[in-house]
Amino acid sequence: MLQLYTILNIKFVRRYFMASPLNSNIKEKIVKNTISLLHNTSFDDITLAKIAKESNISKGTLYYYYNNKEDILFDIIDRYVSKLADDLLVWVENKEKDTSAPRLFKYVLERGAEKEYGNLRLYLIGACVSENTSLREKYVERYLYFKRNLTKKINERLPNFDGEYFAWLLLTTMDGILIQNQLNNPEFNSEEFIKKTVSFMLK
């Protein structure tokens, strides 16, 4: 009896203390590989089996962490939009950089409209508009987190300006630039547009 108790106790310790970092790593792997698949495949065409194969794990392991694709998308939204905001905070707190208002505006427009994750971002927006309410609420929640941080940084640099309005202006303009870039609109020059927009905003 004592031997059985010892074996069970060892299994308990392994599961709850040794497995925690591994669990986190597996979830990270699942999210990253789903994002990788989204670069070339519609989310509707991605199955849990494909995600498991791409992540080099069994379907049983995948189901342990995510019961459906929407839960994975939920985590992707959380990580992607949070990263935009966190990257902004890292950038503005860098004392070695020029983080004045013109540079701040330029950074936000360029960073948010870059093509690297353009397809992913457009898909997330589309999914949140057309899919279930919980996804939309999650995206808006993280978007507002980004907006609040941006408003704060604008107010620090331009105390006489309406920081919240300028934050919304930057974010909605950023979305528009992204759409034109993803369309490969031949008459749209994002670099020139951003330059003129920043100049106009600070007149």
pLDDT at residue number 23: 66
Asked if residues 109 and 198 have their Cβ atoms less than 8 Å apart, the reply is yes
Q: What is the pLDDT of residue 102?
A: 95
What is the spatial distance between Cα 3 and Cα 132, in angstroms, rounded to a whole number?
51
Residue from 192, 152, 201, 199 nearest 172 by CA: 201
How far apart CA 22 and CA 43 sit, in angstroms, is: 26
Question: What per-residue confidence (pLDDT) applies to 194?
Answer: 96
Q: What is the pTM of this model?
A: 0.75
Going residue by residue through the chain (203 aa), what tens digit of pLDDT does each one get? 444 434 444 343 333 333 434 566 899 899 999 988 887 887 788 899 999 999 999 999 999 999 888 889 888 887 877 787 888 889 988 888 899 999 999 999 998 777 666 667 787 788 788 766 788 888 888 889 889 999 999 999 999 999 999 999 999 999 999 899 888 999 999 999 999 999 999 98
Burial of 51 (0-12, 13-18, 19+ CB in 10 A): buried
Spatial contact of 128 and 63, defined as CB atoms under 8 Å apart: no
| pLDDT at residue 69, as a whole number | 86
Q: What angle do CA 68, 71, 74 make, to 5 degrees?
A: 150
Q: What is the DSSP string of 42-105?
A: -GGG--HHHHHHHTT--HHHHHHH-SSHHHHHHHHHHHHHHHHHHHHHHHHT-TTS--SHHHHH
Domains in the chain, ordered, with CATH?
Answer: 20-67 (1.10.10.60), 69-203 (1.10.357.10)
